[in-house]
Structure 1
C-alpha cells in the first residue's frame, strides 16, 4: 500500500503535462512568504497521504517566483493559498484559504475528494 507525496511543479511545461494526464490532479498554489500557506501545508500533505487518494496526483506551485508565477497565472490564481482540483484536465473545484487561515477549505477539499472518488 503506497501513499502519495506532494511534489513541486517546477515549470509551465510540467503543469501542462500533468493537465493532459487522465484522472484527478490537486494543486496547492502557495508562497513561501504566506503564513496561511504554512498553516495548511501539513493538512494538505495529510490529504495526499490518505489511502483513498492514492490515485490522485498532488502538487504544489510556488507562485511567488518564476516559473511558478507563470503557472499560477495560467491557472488564473490570484490568492495564496488556493487549492485547485482538476479531473481529466478540467477544473472541477477551487478553494481559497482566508487570512487568518481557517481549516474549512481543507475540510471541503477532503469531502470533495471523498465524494468524487467514491463514485
Structure 2
C-alpha cells in the first residue's frame, strides 16, 4: 500500500533505482503501522515537488522488504537514507520539520 505520490522501491529493484541512480536518492524507510512515518509522508512529498530535478525520493516499506533495511542497519522508523553514487551519505532518523530535512540534504541537492 503506497501512500501519496512518492514511488516505491523494493529489495528487488533497490540496486537499480537507488545505487545505480545518476543523482542523489533519498529513501524513506517506513511501515504502515508507524504513526511518525505517516506524519513524514506529506513533508517528503512537498520536498519531492520542490527538489524533483535535483533529488529523487523513494519509499520502502520496511516490513515488506526486510533485506535492504537490514543491510543498511535501519533499526528505527522512519529512517531516511540519502544515497549518492551507491553510498549512504546522510542518514536521518525520526520525523523532522521540512526545513531541518532540507538543511540536512542541502549539500547534496544544491
2:96 is the counterpart of 1:103: yes
Q: When the two structures are superposed, what TM-score results if normalisation uses the length of structure 2?
A: 0.83
Structure 1 gaps of 5+ residues are: none
Asked if the contact 1:25–1:86 (Cα under 8 Å) also holds between the matched residues in 2, the reply is yes
Asked if the contact 2:6–2:58 (Cα under 8 Å) also holds between the matched residues in 1, the reply is yes
1:36 offset after TM fit, Å? 0.6
- Runs of 4+ with >6 A deviation: none
Structure 2 gaps of 5+ residues are: none
1:49 offset after TM fit, Å? 0.9
Aligned to 1:16: 15
Q: Cα deviation per residue 1:55-93 (whole Å; 9 max; x = unaligned)?
A: 32110011123xx11221122211110000011111110
- The count of residues paired between Structure 1 and Structure 2 equals 105
Cα RMSD for the two superposed structures? 1.7
Larger % of helix: which?
Answer: 1
Q: Which has the larger radius of gyration?
A: 1
Q: When the two structures are superposed, what TM-score results if normalisation uses the length of structure 1?
A: 0.78
Which residue of 65, 69, 72 maps to 1:72? 69
